[in-house]
Chain A
């Protein structure tokens, strides 16, 4: 057996490798994503993360009682959550939580003393922010809000389950130098009467039921209710986990399929080669069972060792690769890979599959009697199909006729080659499509739609005249951006509202990047939002601005497309019409603004936004390179193994042709022709498959992203070049074999 393995070392090495990689990736990425899930769930549980948040302008005791009296409410706690500016040179945004009890969504302490709700002098701050600002327990920190300044002593540093993911409004990835959060006792609030605005609740039953109950019993007494899974931090993180899980599911399937494919072809070959030997064994009285066991053990041991190695190495290495980059964005107190029984199940499944596949390959031998097995196998019978009946068949060259019949005779092999190439080109299309999509998005969002130089985010509560002053000083246009909630036929989605005031600096476009004009009295909905809600032009939807309980109904007049922000675009006139307050949130300008204005919270230049986008997408590049690498590996392994299989089968024919006087070049062309046919078919089939996978990937990228699957001509050609180049390179490996082929030996070889 060891001798056989040594003889077919390439194939067995690839079986081993694929089995290893399959389990390695599954267990590795699985360990990572399950680890994230378990870590975050434990964290949520330890800190008693709220099941839901009820927002209201004034949460008085009466309201809290009413909520507590609801049958399914198990626990509630009021907080005042408000934005403040930290007293640092860069005016960081600090979200303050004044808490009454610290029993729900508890502060997770890392250093210092536990949060004490009766301590009005202390503050417990965000560890990421503290690290960025080099703050220590015992330091003092000053916050400013609504014109009031409070100075507190840092008593503790830690995390909060509500801030696993914490992004500001101006950038997608968090910059912990600019944002943070802090927990304080309600006693720290400068007034006795704390205007609580959030009620954290824990409840039994589903969030949907609870939501219905609330709107039933307490309609009009609160602004909105957000359930746990919709909370931006929770949902962002679980989406990330899901993406990783998807990766953990897809990749191993590919590897395992290849492993099985190679196992099947290799075993078939070995059996074919050792027919005589098997026949002799049988003739000597070995039972079918013992022979089948012997051959099944080949794949079994390899897959077993590969899987075990994958099980051990995967969870040890891969999570360490992912966690550092993830912990830059997400904040969890612990990052530990977790083992799951699933890994063992998958490994077991693969071992069972390998046994089945081997059995399938070996089975044939047991059906024959020893006398037959000792004789050479009769060749598969070719047959004339209808193609040959046409006159043109006669005119085709030998090359084409031979290849056509060979493919027809070995349908399984042909199919496998095509599937292999298809997988390769699909993965390549996917990888390049992702690359193009990311670049398109950047170009679309930061050049086609938004073409200002700076965006000045206005401080909340700034007077209109102050805003106007700054706007005229920087020669800018005011815009208003608000978070909204849109409802249509019981589907509720959160989105954004953009109110434009006749500006040249933001150009709404359609999905084809063509400029569209939205008239003053029109409402335009983004394509993705329209798709999510299942609405179109002419439909009416209900929406409200977050934090206000005034719902309005609007008819949709236009559909625009935006890659990263989904919701409405309307004019100030329309906003006025709807009887909603116009409160500009930013000023955009073509000028580069360097100086600080008192009423401006932060200034973001286009360059900053683009570089923060680039930073966010950096991890995507890694994924793209991995995809390209594996696509190529897939193609080479599949083509090489099937090529080898077919080469062994036709070795005799090739030798005969060589004896008859065919030149090596002609024979090389013979094999190349077939290879190119299959590659072409696989490539053509791979394109829509890749496109389909790509569109699924973009769709699963989250509600706020809208990217159309597309691939640039250059990358399309690159896909073709890579696919065909691999195919030809693999073919060249066989050409060497043709040259070395010993005619005398192959012709004698009727063993």
Chain B
């Protein structure tokens, strides 16, 4: 397996007046293609900052982020937009679907930004929502909305899926279904999936677990034999 993502001495500082908050402090790690990665840590540890930097939503203060051999930290706004469109599939805690568009339209929306032919029905079928294609987000349950959001993220066949607390707003049963789906994506389609969560149990299902604390990497563990999400003790 080849290295897809590499963080080299990444530092991210937020300035609030004279006060400087170091949210990322010399972070180094690599993620391989097709890995199912879980990033763990308590609130405020810098998990989301890490995801935002990787997703091209925010820029580093110093250090390098190399994705597919490209230096993301040097990208300008336009290049970042292109990078997001092509490489990153986002899955948010609150789904962030476009309320004006039906499920299938939310998925096919991606046709406007990437040069891929998307069969919305096929993608929705793959997340088990084929029958809800013409419903609006507000008419769907939370779990269904999250599945639409996954369908939207995978439809454009991104290099990686970035999931920020994807089950945070769901009950545990629905949560398992969603995580299961994400694990299958990683195993069957060789999609790199990176999940940020504070739920330590998920660590057992991951190929690689990155623990962060106070903006620094606490440790990185690699599971040789990750469990299946559905087999975890919740």
Q: Which residues of A contact B (CB under 8 A)?
A: 378-384, 397-399, 401-402, 405-406, 409, 652-653, 656-664, 666, 743-744, 747, 750
Contact = CB atoms under 8 A, between A and B. Distances in A.
A662 B112 contact: yes
B90 interface: yes
Contacts of B152: 660
Contact of A381 (B84, B88, B90, B138): B138
Nearest to A409: B100
B178 interface: no
Given A663-B81, A747-B92, A398 B112 contact: yes
16 contacts: A378-B138, A379-B99, A382-B99, A382-B138, A384-B134, A384-B136, A398-B101, A409-B99, A660-B113, A661-B82, A661-B84, A661-B113, A662-B85, A662-B113, A663-B81, A747-B94
Given A660-B113, A747-B92, A402 B100 contact: yes
B223 to A, nearest CB: 30
A381 B81 contact: no
Given A401-B101, A660-B110, A661-B114, A747 B96 contact: yes
A661 to B, nearest CB: 3
B109 interface: yes
B85 A660 contact: yes
B107 to A, nearest CB: 11
Given A398-B112, A660-B113, A653 B136 contact: no
A405 B100 CA distance: 6
Given A405-B100, A747-B96, A659 B138 contact: no
B105 A398 contact: yes
Interface string B75-106: 00110011111101010101011111110010
B222 to A, nearest CB: 30
A384 B96 CA distance: 20
A352 B134 CA distance: 46
A100 B57 CA distance: 96
A384 B105 CA distance: 12
A379 B138 contact: yes
B139 interface: yes
A743 B138 CA distance: 22
A695 to B, nearest CB: 41
B52 interface: yes
B138 A397 contact: no
Contact of A743 (B57, B78, B86, B98): B57
Given A382-B136, A662-B81, A744-B57, 10 more contacts: A380-B99, A381-B138, A384-B134, A401-B100, A659-B84, A659-B96, A660-B109, A661-B81, A661-B85, A664-B81
Contacts of B105: 398, 401
A743 B88 CA distance: 15
Q: Which 4 A-B pairs have the closest CB atoms?
A: A661-B85, A405-B100, A661-B84, A656-B96
Contacts of A398: 101, 105, 108-109, 111-112
A653 B99 contact: yes
Nearest to B104: A394
A382 B77 CA distance: 33
A378 B114 CA distance: 31
A747 B98 CA distance: 13
Contacts of B92: 656, 747
Nearest to B78: A663
Contacts of B83: 661
Contacts of B111: 398
A744 B99 contact: no
Contact of B136 (A383, A401, A656, A743): A383
B101 A666 contact: no
Interface string B109-151: 1111110000000000000000000101111000000000000
Contacts of B82: 661
A620 B83 CA distance: 59
Nearest to A748: B48
Contacts of B81: 658, 661-664
B9 interface: no
Q: Give the one of A381, A656, A661 with max B CB within 10 A.
A: A661
Contacts of A399: 112
A661 B86 contact: yes
A397 to B, nearest CB: 7
Contacts of A661: 81-86, 88, 113-114
B55 interface: yes
A399 B77 CA distance: 22
Interface string B46-86: 00100010010110000000000000000001100111111
Contacts of B52: 744
A379 B86 CA distance: 29
Contacts of B108: 398
A380 B88 CA distance: 29
